[in-house]
Amino acid sequence: MTLEDQELDFSIEAMAASSTVNIALGVAFFGALAFIFGIIAENKKPKWGTPVQMKGYVMCNFPKDSSVALGALSVVALLISAVLGLLSVYFPYNGQRVPKHALFHGTTMRVFFLVATLVTIFAEAMMMWATITEGLHRSWNLHEEMDYKCPTAKTGLFGGAAFWPWMHPFSGLCARC
């Protein structure tokens, strides 16, 4: 083996190690980003709209804010983090793929993978629910009840949903251990 071959082997190993680190950092970064977007969406969301009395109905005017857009960005960031988390499980180590039957042979890994997957799905569903609910409050703004107060989505939905994406990167990073 020549010196050039040894340098080439070293760079491939270094690349594999750096790819693993990059995937882990990507999972953590996008999971944290999903959390931050969710918290900011909760803080920007107004509690009430302004009811405007019309002839036979109430129209709700809501102040301009970015809570729905931030919620959507949180959903996308969490999806990217989840895809990177799945990639990290199946990513080849030292150029060799881990066989699926060997990966899920032990009960511990099966249970951990199931819990991490369920946390990710629940986080995505909660954040989508908060974002869609807030968007519906803003688009369906005509109400026949003359004493309607024009509430937005319940306070705490974005914030509560944001804590689930915060747990996702930690469960994904623990899978790398």
Q: Over its length of 177 residues, how does the chain's per-residue pLDDT go in tens digits?
A: 554 444 444 444 444 456 777 887 888 899 889 999 989 988 888 888 888 988 889 998 888 888 899 999 999 999 998 888 888 777 766 667 777 777 778 888 788 888 888 888 888 998 999 889 888 888 888 888 888 888 777 777 777 888 876 665 555 555 555
Angle at 97 between CA 167 and CA 29, to 5 degrees: 25
CA distances from 131 to 14, 48, 110, 127, 153 (A): 41, 16, 32, 6, 9
CB 130 within 8 A of CB 157: yes
Count of the separate structural domains present in the chain: 1
- How far is CA 177 from each of CA 47, 55, 97, 154, 171, rounded to the nearest angstrom? 43, 64, 17, 38, 10
pLDDT at 10: 45
Domain that holds residue 103: 3-175
Task: Check residue 37 and give its pLDDT.
Answer: 92
In DSSP notation, the chain reads --HHHHHHHHHHHHHHHHHHHHHHHHHHHHHHHHHHHHHHHHHH--SB-EEEE-SSSEEEE----SHHHHHHHHHHHHHHHHHHHHHHHHSPBTTBPPPHHHHTSSHHHHHHHHHHHHHHHHHHHHHHHHHHHHHHHHH--EES-TT---B-SPTTHHHHHHHHHHHHHHHHHHHT-
pLDDT of residue 172: 53
Q: Other CB atoms closer than 10 Å to residue 176's CB: what's the count? A: 14
In this prediction, residue 173 carries a pLDDT of: 53
CA torsion angle for 46, 48, 50, 51 (degrees, to 10)?
150
